[in-house]
Every structure is written in C-alpha cells, then in structure tokens.
Chain A
Amino acid sequence: MPDISVVLPSILQPLAGGQPILTAPAEGPVTVGKLLDSVTGDYPVLARRLRDETGALRRYVNVYVGGEEVRRLQGLETEVADGQEVLIIQSVAGG
C-alpha cells in the first residue's frame, strides 16, 4: 500500500533532519492527530512547533487534507486515507 506523506514547509525542514516530506506507512485510515504523532515521534522539537503540550494544533498552523484545512473538517480527528498527501502550511499572521 502507498504511504501517507506529510509535506513540511521549508522553514520546518531543518527540524526534521532536512527532510521536506515525512512518510508514515499506511495501515488503513488514520487520523491527522495519530499521523502527526507518528511522523514527529523522532522529532520532538518539530512536534512542539506544530502542537502545544495539550496536543492542540497551534493557532496559525494549518493542516490540509485533500485540499481542505482540517479545522473545516474534523480537526485532528480528520481521517487520512492511504496514498493521501497532508500539507502543513503556516497561515498568514503577524506584521
């Protein structure tokens, strides 16, 4: 089965050993939350950039599944299917 890919913005890639894409083996549908647990397991600093210590997605971090931002879907409970690509993009913020 095809893996699930998580595409990182360039600014976060150094926190994943320089990798632009992290992959998780597809073993059936998985939630975004579990997927992030899986791909950031070896990169705790990266994990903290995306979510705070309660597990909540940081306010200006957007995660897209199938072109939709997960807050418009089921948040971190949104399911990702085999072969899908998940995009992490920082939103527009700051001045």
Chain B
Amino acid sequence: MGCMATTESIVLAIGTKKGLWLATSQDRQQWSFSGPHFLMSEIPSIGIDTRNGRTRIMVGVRSEHWGPTVAHSDDLGATWSEPEQGAITFPEDTGAAVERIWQIYPDAEARPGVVWAGAEPISVWKSTDGGEHFELNRGLWDHPHRGDWGAGYGGAAAHSIVVNPAGDNVHIAMSTGGVYRSLDGGTSWEARNKGISAYFMPDPNPEFGQCVHKIAADAAVEGRLYAQNHHGVYRTDDNGEHWESIAEGLPADFGFVMLTHPRREGTAWVVPLKADGERIPPEGKLAVHRTDDAGATWKRLATGLPEGEYNSVLRDAAGVDTAEPVGVYFGTRGGAVYASADEGETFTEVATHLPDVLCVRAAVVADAELPGASVPEVAAAQGA
C-alpha cells in the first residue's frame, strides 16, 4: 500500500479468452511478461490476495471442453494448484453445476482467510481458507426471487461482490436481477435497486430485474457505492436504499466497467460505450472517464489511447492497484491492454494482439521476479 518503494513491484494479471498472462513492473512503464498460462482456457475471473504475507493469485479457469475450475499460485505463476475435489462445486441437493466463475474477491485485511466468489448459475460463494474451498451461500441460493432472475447475453451470474471492510454489509450485483444487499454478512439478502432503471422491462422501475453491470464501493465514504448499469450510471449514499443518476457529463451512460479509488473519496472510473445497440466507444474513440467529486463532473481521459477503437471493454477487464498515485489498467476485446501510472491521466499500451481480454487485476507486491518472464517486443519498443 502507499508509495511505491524500490522494494515493491506491481503484478498485473490479464485473463483472456485463451489463457492468462502475468506481468510485473517496478515503474509501471516497462513490463516483463509470462504466459500464456492455461492456454486455450478462458480466465474470466482473477483475485490477487496479498494478505497473509504472501501473494496468492487465484483464477477462475473455464475450458469449453473440460469445464470450470479454480486454481491458485503462490509463486507468481511458476506452479498452479487445483484442489482435488474442486474449489467451487455445487452441493448434490441443489442439482446444479457450476458453469463459470465470474468473480473472485479477497475480503478485507481484517478477515485474512476470507475470499468471496460469484458464479454462473447465479450464486455467491465464500471461502475461509484463502480460496481453496468455497461454500455455497444458501441465503442467496434459496432466495424467493431466484425463479425470476434472468440471463444476460453473457449468462446468468453474480458478477460483482463488494464487502464493507468494517462491518457485515455485503452488496452483490447480478445480471439480470440487479443489486442485492445483506446486512448480516450474507445470511439474508434483499433487492436494493430503487432508482435504477430497467428500461427493457414493462415496468421500468421494478424491485429487481435490473441489469446492473458492475458495482464498486467508495473506500472513504461509508454507505456510498457506484453502479454502471445497462444504460445508466448511478450512486447511492445510503447503502443502496436509493440510487441517483450521475450520468450527466458522460458521453454515454452504457458500459460495463466501474472502478473506485482504493483510498480517496469520490473518485471513480468508467469506460463508456455508445449504447446497448452500439457497443463501441462513442464515435469509435476509446476513453476512460474519471470523476473526483462522486459523479457531479467527469473528466475525459484518452492520452495514450488509440485514435480509433471499435472494441468494447468488459465488466472485469479493468482494475486499479493501490500504489500512489493509483494505477489504472484495462483491456479490450481486441486484445490490447493499457496501463496508467497516474490515475488515468496518461496511458501506455502494455500488451497488444492478445485474445479477448476478460479480466484485469493489479496489485502491489513485494519485489519479485516473474518466473520464466520475458520482455516482449511491444514492451521493449516502449522502453526504447
């Protein structure tokens, strides 16, 4: 955390449609890469857990042929472990089978062994052993709304999990279903979508059924969260009781990404796409937008990004680190990955021509060499 000392590095994990790439950098400009790991399996979810005095990289892996699983590495990808009985498998009485792990979310420092996961079919899971075995959250699985939850294009999944570090508040988002909140650490759940539009339904203001694409919490303001909806960008200041639009000032209110600053109040990033029916950056010009005032105003950030770009950025294909200033990272469905070491003011291309980028995560770690790493041509060219 905090300033990057010379003994620290950033590890950047890039999950794609056809495998995982890992990269490390000390200056967030020059990157050493390893990969592909898990070639020909998609990596839709990554969690980097720096608690417990180690760096554990957990990945949701899914092979079209061989199904989904969770693997972890404690040596920056030199070796991977997969629990024999599977980290996430549905109990027999449910009659369900995991299709895809959409989210892996290490809990707060104060709960060092706890890792949450979100999966398809719509389900939330919790591990207390650092992500090796997860238990199905029965409160959500048995929720009376379950039969009315729908499937977005990508599948019916719980894809966002936000846990309050100080208490027992847990917010999740699912597509489609919207935001659900638990005040008791996940025992019981209630829909919390008031103010979020579901324009695609006969009643555009239902209790649930919204297609919330991503939620993230303000690290400095208790009860404040941000949401990127399927059209609509929102903020709540009362723990989800009411949501209000903060889309004014953005070129479009569609998109998938919602990132928040790990420490500073009111700071969030989105990557707008033109519309549901036109899933490209507005006018084909890729840009990140940042607010520093909780959504009252937005600043367009495109320095270092390509002039023309017609690929979209998926909901988990973006992340921040915890260095000072914060690093912002994202990847496109066209296989390009961009990094900013100054909170989005300027970006550099750190990888290109990868398979579709599904998930990007970054973390500050103790200085470490990436096993088997090489500096690819694109990175070398940048350094030249």
Residue positions of A touching B, CB distance < 8 A = 12, 44-45, 48-50, 52-54, 56, 58, 60-61, 90-91, 93-94
Contacts and interface: CB of A to CB of B under 8 A. Distances in A.
A62 to B, nearest CB: 10
A50 B85 CA distance: 13
A48 B40 CA distance: 17
A59 to B, nearest CB: 8
Contact of A53 (B65, B66, B82, B90): B90
Interface of B: 40, 63-67, 69, 82, 84-86, 89-90, 92, 95-98
**In the complex, which of the residues B63, B66, B90, B97 has the most CB atoms of chain A within 10 Å of its own CB atom?**
B66
Contact of A60 (B65, B82, B90, B98): B65
Contact of A54 (B40, B66, B96): B96
Contacts of A49: 63, 65-67
Contacts of A45: 82, 84
A52 B84 contact: no
Contact of A58 (B65, B86, B95): B65
A90 B95 CA distance: 25
Contact of B89 (A53, A91, A93, A94): A53
Given A48-B67, A48-B69, A52-B67, 17 more contacts: A12-B66, A44-B86, A45-B82, A48-B89, A49-B63, A52-B98, A53-B89, A53-B90, A53-B98, A54-B90, A54-B96, A56-B97, A61-B65, A61-B66, A91-B65, A93-B65, A94-B64
Contacts of A91: 65
B85 A52 contact: no
B95 A54 contact: yes
18 contacts: A12-B66, A44-B85, A44-B86, A48-B67, A48-B86, A49-B63, A49-B66, A49-B67, A52-B98, A53-B90, A54-B90, A54-B95, A54-B97, A60-B65, A90-B65, A90-B66, A94-B40, A94-B65
A58 to B, nearest CB: 5
A5 B99 CA distance: 30
Contacts of A12: 66
Q: Is the interface of B mostly helix, strand, loop or mixed?
A: loop
Contacts of B69: 48
Nearest to A93: B64
Nearest to B82: A45
B85 A60 contact: no
A91 B66 CA distance: 11
Nearest to A94: B64
Nearest to A44: B84
Contacts of B96: 53-54
A54 B40 CA distance: 25
Q: Top 9 closest A-B pairs, CB basis?
A: A52-B97, A49-B66, A53-B89, A90-B65, A94-B64, A60-B65, A44-B84, A93-B64, A54-B97
B98 A58 contact: no
A93 B89 CA distance: 24
A54 B89 CA distance: 9
Contacts of A60: 64-65
A50 B97 CA distance: 13
A91 B65 CA distance: 8
A93 B62 CA distance: 13
A45 B86 CA distance: 7
A47 B301 CA distance: 48
Nearest to A56: B97
Contacts of B84: 44-45
A58 B97 CA distance: 10
A83 B63 CA distance: 32
A58 B90 contact: no
Contacts of A48: 67, 69, 86, 89
A38 B123 CA distance: 31
B68 to A, nearest CB: 9
A44 B204 CA distance: 47
A60 B82 CA distance: 22
**In the complex, which of the residues A49, A50, A52, A91 has the most CB atoms of chain B within 10 Å of its own CB atom?**
A52
